[in-house]
């Protein structure tokens, strides 16, 4: 069954949640709804109107998993190229290096890693005379990874023009390493900004909780009546809009 799984195509723009993830994210979304209800409404009736929140939350978590999987694939691709380059330097043909590269990727990331499974799929397809450059191009399309797509196009042109594969790989590796270094620097800068954004997002909720805990009854005028519900709903909408804005500002495509 595992071998069959490896030979299946993966669409990296789609992510299917496991049942464990469904349970985890559903529990997290229920906890989120409970927290919102406690801080802003304190009403079991309002809790029933929060059904869209778990749907939105699970969708966001799925998007997060898609982004993380693409990022892992791109990071693993650099090591895959390195393994291919070593194989070519040792005298293997480009097609034969895929097998050696897959074994190296298994040692680094395990059999279930994204690039390991992709190389296992490439091995099975090359047995049916499918060109490696075509498989890499297909992977670039399915993953949306610019580095993989560019490498496949360079490989196609190099084979057509009869270029030196070792030099092509060396130049490609240098270019990808420079790009990854820039991405790492940008991610380091963004990580601190994301942490600041998370802290700033928690502060308003912390203030409401602190006032409820230290001064019971001070905010009772905002609960259990129509005017209070309207005021707290406006505050919640403004808070949610500010939260999404902050996330958008720190989500920069690299």
Handedness of CA 200, 202, 205, 210 (dihedral sign): negative
Q: What is the pLDDT of residue 75?
A: 84
Query: Model pTM?
Result: 0.81
- pLDDT tens digit string along 47-69? 888 888 999 999 999 999 998 99
Listed residue (51, 48, 46) closest to 232, CA to CA? 46
Cα–Cα distances in Å, from 128 out to 28, 87, 88, 180?
Answer: 46, 22, 22, 34
> What is the H or E stretch that residue 229 is in?
helix 226-250
Q: Is 181 exposed, middle or buried (0-12, 13-18, 19+ CB in 10 A)?
A: exposed
Task: Using pLDDT thresholds of 50, 70 and 90, give the confidence band for residue 4.
Answer: very low
Task: Name the 3-class secondary structure at 162.
Answer: coil
CB-based contact 114:10 (threshold 8 Å): yes
Q: What is the pLDDT of residue 28?
A: 94
CA dist 157 and 163 (Å) reads 8
CA dist 6 and 160 (Å) reads 30
- pLDDT tens digit string along 177-223? 778 778 778 878 888 888 888 888 889 888 888 888 888 778 888 88
């Amino acid at each position: 069954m595992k071998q069959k799984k490896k030979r299946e195509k993966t669409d990296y723009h789609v992510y299917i949640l496991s049942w464990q993830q469904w349970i985890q994210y559903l529990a997290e979304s229920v906890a989120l709804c409970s927290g919102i209800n406690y801080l802003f409404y304190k009403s079991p009736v309002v809790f029933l109107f929060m059904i869209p929140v778990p749907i939105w939350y699970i969708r966001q978590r799925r998007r997060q998993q898609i982004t993380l999987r693409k990022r892992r694939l791109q990071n693993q691709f650099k090591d895959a190229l390195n393994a291919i380059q070593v194989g070519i330097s040792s005298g293997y043909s480009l097609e034969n290096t895929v097998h050696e590269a897959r074994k190296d990727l298994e040692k680094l990331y395990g059999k279930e890693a994204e690039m390991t499974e992709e190389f296992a799929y490439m091995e099975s397809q090359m047995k049916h005379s499918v060109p490696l450059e075509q498989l890499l191009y297909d992977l670039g399309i399915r993953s949306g990874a610019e580095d993989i797509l560019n490498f496949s196009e360079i490989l196609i042109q190099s084979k057509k023009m009869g270029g030196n594969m070792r030099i092509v790989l060396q130049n490609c590796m240098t270019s990808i390493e420079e790009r990854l270094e820039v991405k790492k620097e940008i991610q380091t800068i963004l990580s601190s900004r994301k942490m600041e954004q998370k802290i700033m997002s928690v502060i308003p909720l912390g203030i409401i909780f602190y006032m409820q805990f230290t001064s019971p009854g001070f905010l009772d005028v905002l609960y259990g009546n129509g005017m209070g519900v309207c005021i707290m709903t406006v505050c919640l909408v403004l808070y949610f809009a500010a939260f999404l804005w902050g996330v958008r500002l720190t989500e920069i495509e690299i």
